[in-house]
Amino acid sequence: MFGGIDIGSRSTEFVLQKDGEAVHRAQLPTTFSPLEQCKKLLSGHSPDCLVATGYGRELIKTLELPYQVDAITEIKAHALGAHALFPEARTVLDIGGQDTKAISLNAKGGIVRFEMNDRCAAGTGKFLEYTANVFQVGIEEFGAYALQGSNPPLINSMCTVFAETEATSLMAQGARPEDIALALHASVVRRTSTMLKRVGLVFPLVFSGGVANNGCIRKLLHENFGKKETICVAEEPDMCGAFGASLWAEKCYNG
């Protein structure tokens, strides 16, 4: 079996795959002790080869594990995972905790072009988490909360801090909180749609990463691009990067 571990800013995912099928998946918050979380995830498992990706990918090499260990970029891992899960995919959108990636693929799954927003929280999972706090709603419920909105005002600011200020101001003016939440989700979709177009958006589009679990973002993407366009979401979109890393582990092992 071959392992992939995606050490992100908010969560760490671990996948074991055999013959291209995931046979084990696990996730833990990354916390301020990512190596300890990695040890917990890897405990009891001995893959033939392990490949790490994500922000903390180089950390894994310090664990002195008794099997082959390598690392690849998140762009490569997500492209591999998305192509394996949806071979017809031509574009990948990954919205993670602190960055957003738009990746254009060729028909064989090779990376043609990509953009990555990793210098600002705007349009990322962190943006949604931060603004959810304004409404005293948990991040897991924020999408469903926003779907109760029907008349979203325009949120002009893309900055996380300024968007929170704008949301608070709109509340003071009497706007429904659900409508403001919907507007904040719409601002994320506007930003990511622009990134997708810059890399040459071609459908089908694979939507991966933790934010793909947000039903409001999925709905707005469909509305933005038209329902006839195919947007694919894996059963566990958070695992796409780790799964891609596990596929690369097999390739490394077999030379």
Task: Dump pLDDT digits (tens) for 86-103.
Answer: 999 999 999 988 889 999
- pLDDT tens digits for range 2-45: 999 999 988 999 999 999 999 999 999 999 999 999 999 999 99
Contacts of 19 (CB under 8 A, 6+ apart): none
Question: Which is more confidently placed, 160 or 22?
Answer: 22
User: How much is the pLDDT for 133?
Assistant: 87
User: How much is the pLDDT for 14?
Assistant: 98
Residue-wise burial string across 195-229, b where 16 or more C-beta atoms lie within 10 A, e elsewhere: bbeebebbbebbbbbbbbbbebbbbbbeeebeeee
- pLDDT tens digits for range 177-206: 999 999 999 989 988 999 999 999 999 999
pLDDT higher than threshold 70 for residue 229: yes
| Position 76 confidence tier, pLDDT thresholds 50, 70, 90 | very high
| Position 237 confidence tier, pLDDT thresholds 50, 70, 90 | very high
pLDDT higher than threshold 80 for residue 135: yes
The structure tokens listed for 67 are 């099997």
User: How much is the pLDDT for 174?
Assistant: 87
Listing DSSP states for 194-253 in one string gives: HHHHHTT--SSEEEESGGGG-HHHHHHHHHHH-TTS-EE--SSGGGHHHHHHHHHHHHHH
The three-state DSSP-derived secondary structure of 134-152 is HHCCCHHHHHHHHCCCCCC
Contacts of 178 (CB under 8 A, 6+ apart): 145, 146, 148, 149, 150
**Mean pLDDT, to the nearest integer, of 120-145?**
86
User: How much is the pLDDT for 18?
Assistant: 96
Find residue 50's DSSP bridge partners: 3, 69
Name the strand (E) or helix (H) holding 75: helix 74-85
CB 127 within 8 A of CB 167: no
> Roughly what angle, to the nearest 10 degrees, separates helices 177-198 and 139-146?
100
**Mean pLDDT, to the nearest integer, of 161-166?**
74
| Position 207 confidence tier, pLDDT thresholds 50, 70, 90 | very high
d(CA 243, CA 230): 22
User: How much is the pLDDT for 167?
Assistant: 80
d(CA 70, CA 9): 19
Contacts of 59 (CB under 8 A, 6+ apart): 7, 34, 35, 38, 52
Among the listed residues 210, 203, 223, the one whose alpha carbon sits nearest the alpha carbon of residue 91: 203
CB 36 within 8 A of CB 8: no
d(CA 231, CA 221): 8
* Mean pLDDT, the chain, integer: 92
pLDDT higher than threshold 80 for residue 211: yes
The structure tokens listed for 105 are 């693929």
User: How much is the pLDDT for 161?
Assistant: 66
**Mean pLDDT, to the nearest integer, of 229-247?**
95
d(CA 52, CA 190): 31
**Mean pLDDT, to the nearest integer, of 144-168?**
82
Q: What percentage of the chain has pLDDT greater than the value 70?
A: 95
